[in-house]
Amino acid sequence: MRTASGATLDFGRLVLLVLLVGASWYFWYSPVLWPVKVLVVMMHESGHAIATLLVGGSVDRVHLQLNEGGSCFSRLPPGVFNRIMVSSAGYLGSAVAGALLMLATFRFRLGRAVMGAASVWLGVMGFFYAGDLFTLAFCLGMAVAMGLGARFLPSGVVDALNLFLAAFTALYVVFDLRDDLWNSAVRAQSDAAILASETWVPSIVWAALWTLLSVALLGVSAYWALHAKPQGGGVRMPPVTRARRV
């Protein structure tokens, strides 16, 4: 399939992404995937932390939990807008991370750079914001593993790991939204409940808004990532023929 810009759907990438999402779903409850789930939780909490810094606040500490929970304690300047930004940045931050992973690895072929950047991110979060020994050990351990992987693993293995992480993150975001925001008992203790108490907008409205934005972001990024640009950066034109003089 070719778009108006000349980009074509790469069916090989599409099949690979579907397989990776299917494998993540099938092995969802396997203990082997526990570190990846905690890593996505760290993306969620990092979203809160980054938004806090962007609005001029300060991050006290971030906690990860063995049961895949997490929390970010921060100090915000007064204002409803700041609270909306920071509270929304958790679920949306995870979606942004999944979208960037897909685009950087599929579209721009930056697999090794992505893994290296992830190593730096985890190192910074561990050194500066870890609020307990488990969070510190997890962040620094994953930072070392990703740093070594970016440096020594073959490019094909790096790309495969990044693609798996992108697919898993996208699936985790969808499951997280489903379990946290559309389960009324859980939603009462989620970021949506915090915003509901601050803005008088019902938590179900925040849940719907974050779900729509996250799914749209992941869908658009997947579309871009799965459509290859034509070689040479432009649309290939048919050859010009000259009329034969008789």
The pLDDT of residue 186 is 67
Amino acid at 29: Y
Which of 150, 120, 128, 141 has the alpha carbon at shortest distance from 35? Answer: 141
Per-residue model confidence as pLDDT tens digits over 43-89: 999 999 999 999 999 999 999 999 989 999 999 999 889 989 998 89
Per-residue model confidence as pLDDT tens digits over 213-228: 888 998 899 888 888 5
Looking at per-residue confidence, does 137 or 219 come out higher?
137
The pLDDT of residue 180 is 64
Q: Is residue 105 a contact partner of residue 162, using CB atoms and an 8 Å limit? A: yes
Predicted TM-score (pTM) of this structure? 0.82
Residue 105 sits at φ, ψ, to 5 deg, of -85, -45
For 188, residues 6+ apart whose C-beta sits below 8 A from its C-beta are 203
Residue 8: enclosing H or E segment and its boundaries?
strand 8-9
The pLDDT of residue 233 is 42
Which of 206, 46, 27 has the alpha carbon at shortest distance from 123? Answer: 46
Per-residue pLDDT band for 2 (boundaries 50, 70, 90) equals low
